[in-house]
Amino acid sequence: MLVYLLHAPLAQNTMESFFTFLEKRVDDCSSLLCVGLDPHVSDLEYPTAESALRFCLNLVKQTAPYAAAFKPNAAFFEQFGAEGWMVLKTVIQAIREQSNRLGSMIPVILDAKRGDIASTAEAYAKSAFETLGAHSITLSPYLGKDSIDPFIGNPEKGVFLLCKTSNPGANDFQDLLVESAPGSTVNVQRSTPLYEHVARLAQTWNIRNNIGLVVGATQPEALTRVRAAAPDLWFLSPGVGAQGGDLGTALKAGLRKDGKGMLLPISRGISRAGSPSQAAAAFRDEILALQRSIQ
């Protein structure tokens, strides 16, 4: 294990939280690699939930030693109906079993991009954390803080808020310039992009050390701005590989001063490799080498 990764300071307290668990895992496996579990029908032996299960279990088994986290995408399981939902639960259980085997908890980030309020949000939180057993979930923050409150009451469960996403259409809304709204808890200057305002709000909301941000690796300028706005937060940064994001550029723009603070999700670059285990190890090692050069 390389030792140049340092422990990041906790946000406002020293209690156990989602990100203290994540940082322990990062240290245990010397990795910032997040393995995506996206059972595309075109990648399966048969277009069935059972085939999706075999596909994901193989990936989990091969890549667990190199994964700082796993990120199953709910949509690829939901497409199989109720049976797919049971497959997702089984896959999360398999990750827990690999964690026990390795003696190190591998967090599961449910990529579901939920966004609702009140009892609906509470039901989504119960589904993700209690029924499925995920440790974290991706959320849309655009209904306001009360829409994420049901997900962050337990410090040991985390969220990643959509901030600056990696898709081409992200600019349609996320780059709009904003000013402070009446009642806002964060003052913004004129000509502040909406995504930067989201980052500043998230930084203030992170009182339990369990809020992170989704900031695409395809957006290096945005990564730099968001890191300045939210110096303490963890980023989930998709877009390396199939979407064209450059790994070195993204790490240079988004890493915290302690060399942590980013998870790099890789899905097809691992699942479609001849040996997912070797591909995961190679990505892990490339990330480590770039971290060291940046440090």
What residue spans of 178-236 are helical by DSSP H? 194-205, 220-229
Active site residue 113: yes
**φ, ψ (nearest 5 deg) of residue 53:** -65, -50
**Alpha-carbon span 256 to 239, nearest angstrom:** 19
* Catalytic site residue from 24, 61, 89, 113: 113
Give the pair of three-digit tokens for residue 190: 């004129």
The catalytic site residues sit at: 113
